[in-house]
């Protein structure tokens, strides 16, 4: 079905044929997914998973494959011209420790295992894409840069993507960020964000009777109550996510140290900054009242930015999704997309399939919707390559 497309309508007309080829690669994709999913890849320890990705790239015939100084895995599929390049990336790390059992279970209609949705599937799609394009007989005008991004999550703070964009010499025309879930996801803007870690330490000489406290847990509880009392506006949309609390070692041991991880998200940079100042006041006040050391470590920040809804990339992506009977779930991103946008690269984030139990041991993805997600991805790739997503100067 090799051809040159003259319009987005012609691409949409070929979607059924593209789907047939995607389905024919079911076993290849699932094999890649299982093998990637069973390689532990906590943030800062993605090397083995990236090595596997590079091996797959080489087996697909990509001659320009390498990892960079930050641990990103890169494969380049040259295009017919040298003046356009599309960056297709998926983060390689997961939230799961290498001590977790990473066994992946394959069933008739679903697959489950830690990190299988976020983001083993995204990486498996990159590993399969060169074979898919070859089987489709598609030779792009644009060069295709495939990247498994390292150090994305948590304290990684998108370091791999930022390193690549700051040091890469190849011009990038546009980008697509690939996430395992959810199918129908469409992100084209980044939200304002502050990610923080509150640490409470009780000094050895702490006067428990005078202070009236019973350990770090109650002090962190006071911090949580104060955070929950912060007034949040309905517009612009703003939220505070309390992600995790760690403290204590047993039933009868008073905890002297604890940690709270949280994230502030808002459509407004000013609101994020205002909440940051309130958080500083909370830490100071709780510390003075309890006599404990209460500190806030800001791990990451994001500025709100993005494409307008009328941008050609957004419009064409929505048209493709509509043709596949997908209702776009438009949500701002705080992940790799925000870094591309910050560098002036038009980009979107797309989900590949439906999933559930995200970030649980039995994280699950559904198999059949994957092929709709692949068709969507190929179609958006063709639309960018054909220049249908370019904005006029």
Task: Give me the mean pLDDT over the 236-249 stretch.
Answer: 93
pLDDT at 2: 56
Q: How far is CA 187 from CA 91, 100, 305, 352, 357, in A?
A: 16, 31, 11, 13, 21
Residue 2 belongs to some domain of the structure: no
Question: Which of 280, 302, 324 represents a domain boundary (last residue)?
Answer: 302
pLDDT at 393: 47
| pTM confidence score | 0.91
Residue 390 belongs to some domain of the structure: no
pLDDT at 206: 61
Task: Give the CATH number for residue 256.
Answer: 3.30.70.360
Query: Using one digit for the tens of pLDDT, what is the confidence trace for 194-218?
Result: 999 999 998 876 665 545 456 899 9
**Phi/psi at 254 (5° precision):** -70, 120
Question: Which of 302, 328, 344 represents a domain boundary (last residue)?
Answer: 302
Q: Are 168 and 275 members of one domain?
A: no
Residue 391 belongs to some domain of the structure: no
Task: Give the CATH number for residue 102.
Answer: 3.40.630.10
Q: Are 220 and 295 members of one domain?
A: yes
pLDDT at 205: 67
Number of separate domains in the chain? 2
pLDDT band at 251 (very low <50, low <70, confident <90, very high): confident
Peptide bond into 119 cis (omega under 30): yes
> Three-state SS string across 99-153, please?
CCCCCCEECCCEEECCCHHHHHHHHHHHHHHHHHHHHHCCCCCCEEEEEEECCCC
**In a 3-state reduction of DSSP, which class is residue 67?**
strand
Q: Are 155 and 223 members of one domain?
A: no
Torsion, CA 117, CA 150, CA 184, CA 379, rounded to 10:
-120
Residue 3 belongs to some domain of the structure: no
Residue 393 belongs to some domain of the structure: no
Query: Using one digit for the tens of pLDDT, what is the confidence trace for 65-96?
Result: 999 999 999 999 999 988 899 999 999 999 99
Q: Are 38 and 133 members of one domain?
A: yes
Q: Are 170 and 198 members of one domain?
A: no
Q: Are 169 and 275 members of one domain?
A: no
Query: Using one digit for the tens of pLDDT, what is the confidence trace for 307-338?
Result: 999 999 999 999 999 999 999 999 999 899 99
**Domain hosting residue 271, numbered range:** 192-302
Q: Are 72 and 130 members of one domain?
A: yes
Question: Which of 276, 302, 328 represents a domain boundary (last residue)?
Answer: 302
Q: How far is CA 64 from CA 24, 44, 74, in A?
A: 27, 24, 8
Q: Are 212 and 233 members of one domain?
A: yes
Query: 359 or 148: which carries more pLDDT confidence?
Result: 148
Q: Are 86 and 178 members of one domain?
A: yes
Residue 54 belongs to some domain of the structure: yes
d(Cα 85, Cα 98) in Å, to the nearest integer? 35
d(Cα 284, Cα 67) in Å, to the nearest integer? 44
Q: Are 119 and 231 members of one domain?
A: no
Q: Are 314 and 272 members of one domain?
A: no
Residue 392 belongs to some domain of the structure: no
Q: Are 55 and 168 members of one domain?
A: yes
């Amino acid at each position: 079905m090799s051809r040159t497309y003259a319009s987005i309508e012609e691409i949409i007309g070929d979607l059924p044929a593209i789907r047939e080829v995607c389905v024919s690669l079911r076993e290849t994709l699932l094999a890649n997914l299982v093998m990637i999913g069973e390689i532990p890849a906590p943030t800062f320890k993605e090397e083995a998973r990236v090595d596997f990705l590079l091996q797959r790239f080489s087996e697909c015939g990509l001659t320009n494959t390498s990892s960079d100084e930050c641990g990103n895995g890169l494969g380049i599929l040259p295009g017919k011209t040298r003046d356009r390049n599309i960056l297709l990336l998926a983060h390689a790390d997961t939230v799961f420790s290498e001590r977790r059992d990473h066994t992946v279970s394959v069933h008739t209609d679903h697959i489950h295992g830690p990190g299988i949705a976020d983001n083993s599937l995204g990486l498996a799609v990159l590993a399969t894409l060169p074979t898919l394009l070859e089987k489709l007989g598609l030779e792009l005008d644009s060069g295709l840069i495939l990247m498994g991004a390292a150090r994305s999550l948590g304290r990684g703070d998108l370091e791999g993507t930022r390193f690549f964009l700051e040091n890469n010499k190849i011009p990038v025309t546009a980008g697509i960020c690939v996430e395992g879930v959810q199918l129908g996801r469409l992100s084209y803007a980044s939200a304002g964000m502050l990610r923080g870690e509150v640490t409470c330490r009780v000094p050895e000489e702490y006067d428990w009777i005078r202070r009236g406290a019973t350990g770090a847990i109650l002090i962190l509880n006071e911090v949580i109550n104060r955070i929950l009392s912060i007034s949040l506006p309905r517009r612009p949309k703003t939220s505070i996510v309390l992600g995790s609390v760690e403290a204590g070692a047993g039933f009868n041991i008073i905890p002297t140290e604890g940690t709270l991880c949280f994230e502030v998200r808002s459509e407004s940079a000013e609101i994020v900054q205002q909440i940051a100042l309130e958080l500083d006041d909370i830490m100071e006040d709780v510390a003075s009242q309890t006599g404990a050391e209460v500190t806030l470590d800001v791990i990451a920040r994001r500025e709100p930015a993005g494409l307008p809804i009328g941008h050609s990339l957004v419009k064409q992506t929505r048209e493709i999704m509509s043709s596949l009977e997908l209702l776009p779930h438009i949500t701002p991103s705080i992940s790799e997309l925000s870094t591309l946008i910050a560098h002036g690269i038009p980009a979107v984030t797309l989900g590949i399939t439906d999933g559930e139990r995200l970030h649980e041991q039995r994280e699950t993805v559904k198999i059949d919707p994957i092929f709709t997600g692949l068709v969507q991805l190929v179609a958006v790739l063709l639309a960018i390559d054909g220049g249908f997503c370019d904005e006029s100067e």
